[in-house]
């Protein structure tokens, strides 16, 4: 599901709920990956590598990379870059901080347990992304970039996600970011999961939309 500059007010309240719930679930998954300490996502490796190369904070590097993703996404789609995606990124960051208040002190030492927790996080992230994409509200900068690739190359959601993450993998490697087996698993697993989950998420949204229309009629 792609966000455009045209703001659609249809079922706005329901879409806001899907948007916020999806980001909250996605943030939970990201936080779980963080405490697993098993591997970074490809674009996290880019942020870390850029930070190490420039001496800038990781947070600032995240914003720089996000801005570049938005600009490139707009160029690919031949539209004015959707700067509103930065708002989504801010919400996501706040939700991650929220979950880390509860999870941040957890320390996992056993490798097998790290792997198990890491694997648990993957479907949680995928569910969150699938739910918030249904809302058609502004994507995160990375997903805006990913959907631009999808539109330009006419790829499936799965392949466009794998492509965007693979670009991050290459850039992360060039910048010297930390890349491990977890990074590869994220690239190969998240895209197919989102592809699979999009249909049921759309179905639930449509059913709830119909109920909302009947109630307000």
Does residue 1 belong to any structural domain of this protein? no
Does residue 150 belong to any structural domain of this protein? yes
Question: Where is pLDDT greater, at 124 or 5?
Answer: 124
Does residue 21 belong to any structural domain of this protein? yes
Which CA distances in Å does 68 have to 5, 61, 142, 145, 197?
18, 11, 10, 9, 28
Short-list 41, 1, 42, 6, CA closest to 22: 1
Can you read off the two tokens belonging to residue 95? 């939700």
Does residue 73 belong to any structural domain of this protein? yes
Does residue 204 belong to any structural domain of this protein? yes
Does residue 7 belong to any structural domain of this protein? no
- Residue 109 phi, psi (nearest 5): -105, -30
Query: Are the beta carbons of 24 and 129 closer than 8 angstroms?
Result: no
Residue 134, pLDDT > 50, answer: yes
**Domain tally for the chain?**
1
Q: Is the sign of the CA dihedral 97, 22, 143, 118 positive or negative?
A: positive
Can you read off the two tokens belonging to residue 167? 């670009």
Give me the domain span that covers residue 72: 12-102+109-216
| pLDDT tier, 2 (very low <50, low <70, confident <90, very high otherwise) | very low
Question: pTM above the 0.85 mark?
Answer: no
Q: Which residues contact 142 (CB under 8 A, 6 or more apart)?
A: 43, 66, 69, 164
Does residue 5 belong to any structural domain of this protein? no
Residue 6, pLDDT > 60, answer: no
| pLDDT tier, 1 (very low <50, low <70, confident <90, very high otherwise) | very low
Does residue 41 belong to any structural domain of this protein? yes
Diameter over CA atoms, the chain: 58
Question: Where is pLDDT greater, at 211 or 73?
Answer: 73
């Amino acid at each position: 599901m792609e966000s455009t500059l045209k703001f659609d007010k249809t079922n706005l309240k329901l879409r806001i709920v899907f948007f916020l719930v999806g980001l909250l679930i996605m943030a939970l998954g990201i936080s779980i990956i963080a405490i697993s300490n098993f591997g970074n996502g490809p674009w996290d490796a880019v942020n870390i590598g850029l930070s190490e190369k420039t001496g800038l904070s990781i947070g600032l590097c995240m914003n720089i990379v996000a801005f570049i993703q938005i600009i490139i996404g707009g160029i690919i789609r031949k539209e004015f870059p959707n700067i509103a995606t930065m708002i989504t990124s801010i919400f996501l960051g706040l939700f991650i901080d929220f979950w880390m208040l509860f999870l941040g002190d957890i320390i996992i030492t056993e490798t097998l347990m790290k792997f198990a927790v890491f694997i648990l996080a993957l479907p949680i992230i995928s569910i969150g992304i699938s739910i918030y994409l249904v809302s058609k509200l502004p994507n995160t900068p990375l997903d805006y970039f990913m959907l631009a690739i999808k539109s330009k190359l006419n790829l499936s959601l799965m392949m466009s996600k794998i492509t965007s993450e693979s670009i991050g993998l290459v850039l992360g490697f060039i910048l010297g970011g930390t890349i491990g087996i977890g990074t590869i698993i994220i690239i190969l697993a998240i895209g197919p999961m989102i592809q699979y989950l999009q249909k049921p998420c759309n179905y639930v949204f449509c059913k709830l939309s119909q109920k909302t229309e009947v109630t307000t009629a």
